[in-house]
Every structure is written in structure tokens, then in C-alpha cells.
Amino acid sequence: MAKIQNAMEIFKLLDKSNCRKCNEATCLAFAAAVFKGARQLSECPTLDPQIIGRYSGSGTVKTMEQEAEEAIRQLQQEIEKIDLPSVAQRTGGTCNNGKLTLKIMGKDFSVDKKGTIFTDIHVHMWVAVPVLNYILFGGSGKVTGNWVPLRELKGGKDWYRLFEQRCEKPIKKVADTYTELFDDMVHLFGGHQVERHFESDISVVLHPLPKIPVLICYWRPDDGLGSDLHLFFDEAAEENLNIESIYTLGAGLALMFEKLAHRHG
């Protein structure tokens, strides 16, 4: 039976008509629900039964958590093979007592030679995967200072719609209701408010990884128009991290902000 690695692979199997016969608003939402383990592929009535047979079966479609845990284990095995001090410069980190330390959202994240992450804050698996990927393969490019949306990155077209659903829309929802979000970005997560980009009302730059800055722009509701929020990346971001990890990082940010807003009610 074929194995599914991510929600985008499920999305590619669907006819993308957004017909809603599965009771999800879009095929993308259905794909994400299947990937999370909340829905079954067979619940899409337009899907060829042969495809369902090829991908269905106990344990074939893993939950996102299972996928992430397996990915973390594999990445940790790779980390064991590298010399951490030798990657400090490439990754923009420092090395002390055998641990590599990176500044992530203003906090110290240390990684030992077994790939275990040490930090004062809770490490969500959606953050752990891109961090370990970055240490292994990322950080060798420059940061140009030119901001582009995810869809304009080379591999971004395939990921953009999922990114919109799992990152931009949830963060916008938080920003619409939790008025302290942007203050928290600055004061809790080492962000800095910058000159307003793309005619937004608020522009904040965060560093979820040393060489992966993210520009978050928010437009307040105005004159009958609803609010809007978009994330922008450095145009050379893919030289510093693969596109799947960039997407994962964005989805991790959304989960983190949702949790923060929930905690502060």
C-alpha cells in the first residue's frame, strides 16, 4: 500500500472541485482532515475506489503527530552523524559544551549531538522538524532583504493554498480578536515592528530561524472591507530551508499564536 507523507499528497489525489459532498468547505480542508486522521479518504465520493484502495488501510495514512514523530526520529539520527561545532557558522548559531544554540523567536534553542532540543519554552513538533532540518541542511544562503509571498518562492506554488489555510487564515483570526498579538510578537518573541510594508497597518518581522526572517503584515478592517493578513519571506529563503519546512514553520507559528490567544482568553 502506498504511504502518504503530507496533506499536499492527499490534496493531489482529489479532483479539486470543492464540491462539498464530503461536508468540508474545500478539497484542501478535506485533505488536511484526512492527514490529521480525522476523516477517511473513502469519505470523498468522487475519488476513484482504486485510489482509495491503494492508500487506505490501517496505519497507511498516519496522523500528523505520528508523521512528525517519525520525521524527528530520522532527523535526530542524521544529527548524530554531524559535527555540531562545524555547522555553527552556517546556521548562524553558537556552539558551547557540545551543544549548538540558535536564537529562535528571541529564545535560545540548544541542540545536543543526539538531536535533543533544550529550551525554556514548549517545543511543538511542528517547530522541531524545521529546526532539525535547518541544522542539517539549511542556512547556507544569504538573506537579501527582499520580501515575497510564499507562492513566489520556487517551490511555493504547490504549498501556497495549504499555507493560506493552515497559517495565514488562523493567524488573521487571532489578530482580529486578540488585540495584543503584535505587542506579544515584539515583546515575547523578539520581533520588531518595521516601517509599514505593502501599505499594511502593522508590519512585524520575526525570526523563527536565524536566517529565515518572516514579515507579518496586517491590514485592519476599513470602509466595509474586512481585515487581511499575509506572511512574506525573504526571496532567497529556499537557499536556507526547504519549502516543506518553511510551510511547516508557518503552520507551527499559527498553532503557537492560537495557543497564546487561547491562554489569554
Residue 5 C-alpha cell reads as 507523507
Residue 125 C-alpha cell reads as 513538533
Helices of type H across 108-149: 125-137
Residue 61 C-alpha cell reads as 495514512
User: How near is the Cβ of 19 to ligand SF4 at its closest, in Å?
Assistant: 4
Whether the Cβ atoms of residue 168 and residue 18 lie closer than 8 Å to each other: no
Q: Is 180 in the site for ligand SF4 (CB under 6 A)?
A: no
Site map 9..48 versus ligand SF4, x via CB under 6 A: -----xx-xxxxxx-x--x--x-------------xxx--
Q: Is 241 in the site for ligand SF4 (CB under 6 A)?
A: no
Helix 64-80 and helix 27-36, axial crossing angle in degrees, nearest 10: 70
Output the CA–CA distances (angstroms, integers) from residue 110 to 129, 212, 223, in the order listed.
14, 17, 47
User: How near is the Cβ of 27 to ligand SF4 at its closest, in Å?
Assistant: 3
Considering the complex, state which of residue 161 and residue 197 has its C-beta at the smaller distance from ligand SF4: 161
Q: Is 164 in the site for ligand SF4 (CB under 6 A)?
A: no
14: Cα within 13 Å, side-chain hemisphere: 27
101 alpha-carbon distance from chain centroid:
21
Considering the complex, state which of residue 41 and residue 104 has its C-beta at the smaller distance from ligand SF4: 41
Residue 32 C-alpha cell reads as 488536511
User: How near is the Cβ of 58 to ligand SF4 at its closest, in Å?
Assistant: 22
Map the footprint of ligand SF4 across residues 79-118, applying CB under 6 A. none
Considering the complex, state which of residue 160 and residue 178 has its C-beta at the smaller distance from ligand SF4: 160
Whether the Cβ atoms of residue 215 and residue 112 lie closer than 8 Å to each other: no
Considering the complex, state which of residue 12 and residue 154 has its C-beta at the smaller distance from ligand SF4: 12
Q: Is 5 in the site for ligand SF4 (CB under 6 A)?
A: no
User: How near is the Cβ of 226 to ligand SF4 at its closest, in Å?
Assistant: 24
- At residue 209, the 3 state secondary structure works out as strand
Number of residues that bind ligand SF4 (CB under 6 A): 14
User: How near is the Cβ of 16 to ligand SF4 at its closest, in Å?
Assistant: 7
Output the CA–CA distances (angstroms, integers) from residue 173 to 142, 188, 229, in the order listed.
32, 20, 9
Q: Is 51 in the site for ligand SF4 (CB under 6 A)?
A: no
User: How near is the Cβ of 34 to ligand SF4 at its closest, in Å?
Assistant: 9
Centre a 10 Å sphere on the Cβ of residue 163 and count the other Cβ atoms it contains: 23
Q: Is 262 in the site for ligand SF4 (CB under 6 A)?
A: no
User: How near is the Cβ of 156 to ligand SF4 at its closest, in Å?
Assistant: 22
Residues that bind ligand SF4 (CB under 6 A): 14-15, 17-22, 24, 27, 30, 44-46
